[in-house]
Amino acid sequence: MSELLTNSRPKLETPSNRELLEGLLTIEGSTGETYRRFWNYSPRNMGFLALQGCPPEPVATYQRWSQLNRQVQKGSKAFSILRPITVKVESKNDDDEQKMIRRFKVVRALFPLSQTEGEELPPYEPEHWSVDRALGALAIERVPFESYNGNIGGMAVGRTIAINPLAPNPLRTTLHEISHIEHGHTSPDQLAQYQGHRGQYEFEAEASAYVCLNELGELDDETASISRGYVKSWVRDQEPSEGSLRSVLNVSTKVLNAGREQPKEEQE
């Protein structure tokens, strides 16, 4: 194993949230069948793997492949992930308490299936994701849609969502409205600012929905085209801020975990 790590890729710098999201949106196929097959890697890490050119295949650590009776081939190069760590921040004033903040450390750890050989993989068992489970975990209530405006697919107020029964893609619309809530757009003070920040809010909600749909294997070509067009119409010529991009990655991770049967924190 030491020889494998010696031949690994050079240490990478932590990418920006913009780079991570761009990498995430280039992944082909459902990430559940590839990067996430053996572990719940976050959208942030899946974007990082894509940025490095990791093929869209099942990935695992050296130890995990050994447990599956597969051997990492000699000379293979490990791909890196972002491992969350907590660090102390020294205060400027002696009387202030130390603060703990979350950072990410780049760690070479994963090998794709094509770099291994051995026994066949066990059959893929899709992970069940439930809208109702997500709503319950996030304390969001679904209420009847009562608007007479047929052009509105759904709406979110406070911690409630209402989805138009005639919405062409109910799941996309539901994820969009859930994302609005989790981005904090529907609190009273944010609703008052909606018109002034509408482009930012709609970008954040739709980008989060797009990431979720992609991971759930529900992003067909037509839906992807509609979603990208929607995002583009709101962003226009403006570049989303790093804060917005970070929020998209965080919210999509939270929504996906909320709908899983047994959400577990990423540790590999």
Cα 22 to chain centroid distance, Å, stands at 12
**Rg of the chain, C-alpha, whole Å:** 20
3-state DSSP of 174-213:
HHHHHHHHHCCCCCHHHHHCCHHHHHHHHHHHHHHHHHHH
Q: Which residue has the higher pLDDT, 225 or 139?
A: 139
Q: What is the pTM of this model?
A: 0.74
pLDDT value at position 117?
95
pLDDT tens digits along 66-104: 999 999 999 999 999 998 877 776 666 655 566 666 778
DSSP 198-266: HHHHHHHHHHHHHHHHHHTT---HHHHHHHHHHHHHHHTTPPPPHHHHHHHHHHHHHHHHHTBSS----
Beta strands in 73-98 (DSSP E): 79-89
Residue 178 confidence class, pLDDT cut points 50, 70, 90: very high
| Rounded alpha-carbon distances, angstroms, from residue 262 to 8, 40, 128 | 33, 10, 10
For the ranges 36-50, 107-121, 216-230, the lowest mean pLDDT is seen at 216-230
| CA nearest to 32, candidates 43, 22, 23 | 43
Domain boundaries, the chain: 2-118, 131-258
How far, in Å, CA of 209 to CA of 170, rounded? 12
Number of residues written out for the chain: 268
Query: Which comes out higher in pLDDT, residue 221 or 183?
Result: 183
